[in-house]
Structure 1
Amino acid sequence: MKKSLLHLFFFLLLMSNLSAQEYVAFEKPIESTLIGNRSFTNENGSECTLESKSIIKILGRGYGEYKGKYYFKNDKCSGFISSVWFAAGEGFKEQNIKVNPKIYEINNARALKEIEEERIEKKIESQKCSYITNEIDVFDKQRIIRTKFEFISEDLAIQLYAKGSKKKIVFGASLELGCASPYKTNRSKVMVMLENKDIITFYHSGKLDCGEFELWGNVSNSEITRLTKSPIKAIKITGTDYYDTIEKFEWSTYFIDKLKCFNPK
C-alpha cells in the first residue's frame, strides 16, 4: 500500500474510532464554576437548569459542530458549554493545550474523509450518461442520442452524438482558432494523443461554422475501442486560422468514462 493511502487508512480508522464521541477528553476532569444561571438540554433530551456558581466538571473539548465548546457534567446536567459561561479551574489551560494535537488529527481525518467521499461521488457522477436526447425517430425508426456538453479542460467541452450506427464526437472549444471548416483545402481537425502514445485524428464533418468553434468528428467502433484504452495526454485543435494544443485536463478519462453512452441500456 502506498504511503499516502496508508495515511488515509489510519485517518479513516481514527475517525471510525472517534465517531461515537463528540469531544476529546482531558486527562482529568477540571472542576470549574458556572457563571450565571443556565438552562441545558441533557443528552437524553431532558431539560435541566443550573444556578450561578454551581460546580461543574469540564471533561474535554468539543470538535466538529461543537468546535470551541467544552463538554461538562455534574449531578444534574451534562452537555456542551461555551468557555464564557464558566470560570475555569486549576489545570484547565494545560489540559486545553494538550488536546490540540488530537483535535488536529480529528479535523485532518475529517477533511481527508470529505475529500475521499467527494472523489468517489465525482467518479460515480462521471460515469453516468447525461442525455439531452435519447429517443427513436418516429420517421426512420433510428435512435438519436445526444449527450450534454461536458468540460474536460478549461477551454474544451465534448458532446457525443449518434443517429443509428453513425457516431460523432463534438469538440466545443473556447479558443481563437478561426472557423470549423469541412473543406479539403483547409479542413479543421482535432488530434487526440493518449497516454499510451496512440493518436486518433478527427476531421470536421459538419457545415462551415465561424461562430463558436464546434468540430463534429466521425468516430468508428474501432476508434472508440482505442480511445477507451488510455487517458488523454494532449489534444491539438486546428481551425482555419490557428491551432492550439491542450495538455492540462481536469477530466483526462472522459472517453474511458463516457463512450459507453453511445450504447444506452
Structure 2
Amino acid sequence: MASKSIIEILGRGYGEFKGKYYFKNNECSGFISSVWFAAGEGFKDQDMKVNSKIYEINNAQALKEIEEDRLAEKDKRQECSYITNEIDVFDNQRVIRTKFDVISENLAIQLYTKGSKKKLVFGASLELGCASPHKTNRSKVMVMLENGDVITFYHSSKLDCGEFELWGNVSNSEIIRLKKSPIKAIKLTGTDYYDTIEEFEWPTYFIDQLKCFNPR
C-alpha cells in the first residue's frame, strides 16, 4: 500500500489481532496497528463507541457465565452424595452416610442414618474443646433459622477430643422444621469454648439436603 494512502477503519481485531484495526480499500484489506497511522477527524469518538460496545459484549458474556455457574451449583446442591447407602447384612438395616458438605468457612455437615435413627454430624474446624455426651458438660449445636425457629442438637456419641465433631439425633418433626427456612446462625458449644457462625456459603443446606435421609 502506497504512502499516504487513504483507508477506512471498519473494526477492531480480536484474539491474535487484539490491539489492531481492520481496514479495507480498493487495493487490499487487513489489520493495522494504531501506532502506524494518524487518526483522522472523528476517529476518537468512533473508537470510544467501539470500546463501549466491546465492554457491553464482554460484560454480557461474563454475566451469562456467572448465571450458568450459579445454576450448575444450584443443581449440584439438589443431588445426594452418598458415601454409604446399603443394607447391613448383620441386622438387615439400611445405613446411609453422605459426604461432608461445607456450608460455611469453618463448618461442614454430614447426614447419617441406620434404620429409623437419623443423625446430623457437625464437623467444625474451630477451637471448642471436646465434643462431650456427659450431662454435666454436654456439647450442643443450636441452629437458628431465618423464620426465628431454634433447634438444639446435643452430642449423642462418645467423648471426642480430636477435631470437633458433634453427632446430634434429629427427629422427623425437627426435619420438617429445618426445611421451612434458610439458616440464619449456628452456635457450637464444646467443653471449653463456644462459637457462633452467621455467614454461610450454603444457607439452604437443610432445605436442599434433608431429603437425602430417604433415598429413592
TM-score, L = length of structure 1 = 0.72
Q: Distance in 2 between matches of 1:193 and 1:72?
A: 64
| Residue aligning to 1:83 | 33
Considering only aligned residues, what root-mean-square deviation do their CA atoms show, in Å?
2.8
Higher mean displacement: 230-239 or 66-75: 66-75
Structure 2 CA distance, aligned partners of 1:213 and 1:253?
23
1:82 positional shift = 5.8
- Give 2:171's aligned residue: 220
- The residue that corresponds to 2:73 in the other structure is 122
Cα distance change on mapping 1:215 and 1:241 into 2, 3 Å: same
The residue matched to 1:260 in structure 2 has which SS? helix
- Residue identity over aligned pairs, in percent, reads 78
Q: Which residue number in structure 2 is paired with residue 15 of structure 1?
A: none
SS at match of 1:120: helix
- The match for 1:181 among 132, 141, 147 is 132
Task: Tell me the SS of whatever aligns to 1:99.
Answer: helix
Equivalent position of 1:192 in the other structure: 143
In 2, Cα distance between equivalents of 1:183 and 1:82: 79
Please report how far the alpha carbon of residue 176 of structure 1 lies from its aligned counterpart in structure 2 after TM superposition.
Answer: 1.0
Structure 1 position 101, deviation (Å): 1.9
What's the counterpart of residue 93 of structure 2?
142
Q: Secondary structure at the match of 2:185?
A: strand
Contact 2:22 2:32 in 1 (8 A): no
Please tell me the residue identity of whatever aligns with 1:90. G
Per-residue CA deviation, residues 200-253 of structure 1 (Å, 9 max, x unaligned), is 110101110000000000111111111010000011111111111111111111
Match of 1:238 in 2: 189
Alignment coverage as a number of residue pairs: 215
SS at match of 1:122: helix
Matched, 1:154 2:105: yes
CA contact (8 A) 2:21 2:34 kept: no
Q: Which runs of 5+ in 2 are unaligned?
A: none
| Cα distance, 1:97–1:241 mapped onto 2, change above 3 Å | same
Match of 2:60 in 1: 109
Distance 1:143-1:75 versus aligned 2 partners, 3 A rule: farther
1:201 aligns with 2:152: yes
In structure 1, C-alpha distance between the alignment counterparts of 2:14 and 2:136, rounded to whole Å: 67
Task: Verify the 8 A CA contact 1:34 1:55 in the aligned structure 2.
Answer: no
> Does the 8 A contact of 2:83 with 2:97 survive in 1?
yes
TM-score, normalised to structure 2, is 0.87
Task: Look up the equivalent residue of 2:115 and give its one-letter code.
Answer: G
Superposed displacement of residue 143, structure 1? 1.6
Partner of 1:3 in structure 2?
none
1:21-78 residue CA offsets vs partner (Å, 9 max, x unmatched) = xxxxxxxxxxxx599xxxxxxxxxxxxxxxxx99875321246786534445567987
State how far apart, in whole Å, the 2-side matches of 1:139 and 1:77 are: 83
Residues 87-98 of structure 1 mapped to structure 2, 5 A cutoff? 87=37, 90-91=40-41, 92-98=43-49
Contact 1:195 1:231 in 2 (8 A): yes
> Structure 1, residues 92-130: CA drift from partner, whole Å, max 9, x if none?
444222322222222221221122111111111111111
